[in-house]
Amino acid sequence: MTYIDGFVAAVPKANKEQYITHARGVAELARQWGATRTVENWGDDVPAGKVTDFQRAVQAKEDEVIVFSWIEYPDKATRDVVMKRMMEDPAMKSVPDMPFDGQRMIFGGFSNLFVV
């Protein structure tokens, strides 16, 4: 069953194009190394909650937009190989730096329950 890495981050509105360039670079390498798909989403209807919400989760500032993204892999073993390469492969130096505060990004790996 497919394995997913999910990401939520706050990106300054002014950095949208830089974010797209960064995300495309990561996606292209991940695909070369075994990922099957990357999905990038720019927040457009992300409401504030009463107890918690995406903004609080990443400590978003007034001038930031929430991005919600995921990378799909055929299995966890492939994901582990891709993640290792992302941390160690010199090809990652060709990807522009993250145009947001990576310390406030949340992420995690997920096994599918089902896909419809």
Domains belonging to the chain, first-starting first, are: 3-111 (3.30.70.100)
66-77 exposure pattern, b = at least 16 Cβ within 10 A, e = fewer: bbebbbbbeeee
| DSSP class of 44 | S
Reading the chain (116 residues) residue by residue, the pLDDT tens digits are 899 999 999 999 999 999 999 999 999 999 999 999 999 999 999 999 999 999 999 999 999 999 999 999 999 999 999 999 999 999 999 999 999 999 999 999 999 999 89
Beta strands in the chain (DSSP E): 3-12, 37-42, 64-73, 106-111
Give residue 47's pLDDT: 97
pTM of the model as a whole: 0.93
Q: Is 59 left (phi over 0), alpha (psi -120 to 50) or beta?
A: left
Spatial separation of the C-alpha atoms in residues 23 and 69, rounded to whole Å: 9
